Amino acid sequence: MKLTFLGSGDAFGSGGRFNTCFLLESGAKRILIDCGASSMIAIRKFGVDPATIDAVLVTHLHGDHFGGLPFFLLDAQLITRRARPLKLFGPPGFEKRLLAACENFFPGSTQAKRPYEFSIAELSPETPHDVAGFTATPFEVVHWSGGPPYAYRIEADGKTFCYSGDTEWVDTLVPAAKNADLFVCEAYFFDKKVKYHLDWRTLEARLVEIGAKRTILTHMSAELLARLGETACETADDGKVVEF
């Protein structure tokens, strides 16, 4: 597999980073994991052709994780002139929230005829789902967003990737990331405990139990970005490419 961090930032652009958006590839399969509000800018900056994306998998319903989708869909219709099918996946409540966002930003856009096959699916937790050739299993985490927030365990071609999404510590992260080839995890603060977010020290204490081969921190606040040398863990950056 190959992962490209198109956006590795938090909701507030800390460190000048784009909102969360990852490109995951395995062979010819290509999906986006999250598509935050700034994602079309990141997609253009890093030279990704949005027409080659087969699916978008959303962790939770905050704008910095799915707010770029109205722009992605309008680009597919008017600019990229997409022809291949596009599948969108997310937690329960995803379809209603996405269509409302599209109408708020671009009134009438949900009624426009699309020149490509389009579908939205809402995923149940702890059940494997086929996401454009990847097997994605959602694990419910703890991050209030108006719908169930998910971490995802994603498998393809003998490799396993896990992304925590945004969450405070929850024990479901252990089976979600257990022995993964790559675990990308939020670490919002260094050691400050806040509801709905994870800090580095809490995560550090559980890494042996999780047993991932490689762990990369993402979604870091300005406070953690100022202390990167103290984390003893690899960190994400916009444009970073990881093969595993």
- CA dist., res. 26 & res. 186, Å (int): 23
Write out the E strands in 74-172: 86-90, 118-122, 129-131, 134-140, 150-156, 159-163
Q: Give the closest residue to 234 by CA, choosing from 184, 163, 188.
A: 184
Q: Are 122 and 91 in contact (CB under 8 A)?
A: yes
Q: Give the closest residue to 182 by CA, choosing from 114, 108, 243.
A: 243
Q: Are 112 and 75 in contact (CB under 8 A)?
A: no
Would residue 64 show up in a list of annotated catalytic residues for this protein?
A: yes
- CA dist., res. 44 & res. 201, Å (int): 35
In this structure, the dihedral spanned by the alpha carbons of residues 48, 214, 20 and 143, taken in order and rounded to 10 degrees, is: 150
Q: Are 137 and 131 in contact (CB under 8 A)?
A: no
Among 34, 64, 199, 238, the one annotated catalytic: 64
Residues with catalytic annotation? 64
